[in-house]
Amino acid sequence: MKLLILNGPNLNLLGTREPEIYGGVTFLDYFEELKAQFSSVELDYKQSNHEGDLVTEIQKSQGVYNGIVLNAAAYTHTSVAIGDAIKAVTTPVVEVHISNTFAREAFRHNSYISPNAKGVILGFGLKSYALAIQSFL
């Protein structure tokens, strides 16, 4: 089982700002925990602040990964291109969010990812990623 964790814009700042919403742990530290927790899974991690990079990574996943755990961050709520890319590949995508986007501003209630995702996990902090990996097993 080979999975890609793909994070979108500003998630490289995790653990440095807004800890009340996003927690105090950097994603690279959490990624080490995930690798230890899921030692039977081949996990790769990529992050980009650029929409087109995320589209390219989704396209490149075809035939390489068994699934993608995707937190498209703010692009979740704006990106037709990322939604189209998910539709264009057979790689199953599980959408994750750290926060409960439905408990936040109205503009975070829409997702261009969800209609094309295998499932959605949100609101469990960084644990959302572990739950998403678990869903592939």
Indicate which residues carry an active-site annotation. Answer: 22, 97
Q: Give me the least distance between CB of 66 and ligand CA2, in Å please.
A: 22
The CA-based dihedral angle spanning residues 12, 75, 93, 48, taken in that order and rounded to the nearest 10 degrees? -30
Q: What is the nearest approach in angstroms of ligand CA2 to the Cβ of residue 4?
A: 17
Amino acid at 99: S
Classified as helix, coil or strand, 46 is strand
The residue among 1 and 13 lying less far from ligand CA2, judged by its C-beta, is 13
Residues that bind ligand CA2 (CB under 6 A): 10-11, 13-14, 17-18, 22, 71, 73-74, 76, 97-99, 101, 108
- The minimum distance between CB 137 and ligand CA2, in angstroms, equals 22
Query: How many Å apart are CA 84 and CA 125, to the nearest integer?
Result: 27
Task: State the CB neighbour count (10 A cutoff) for residue 109.
Answer: 11
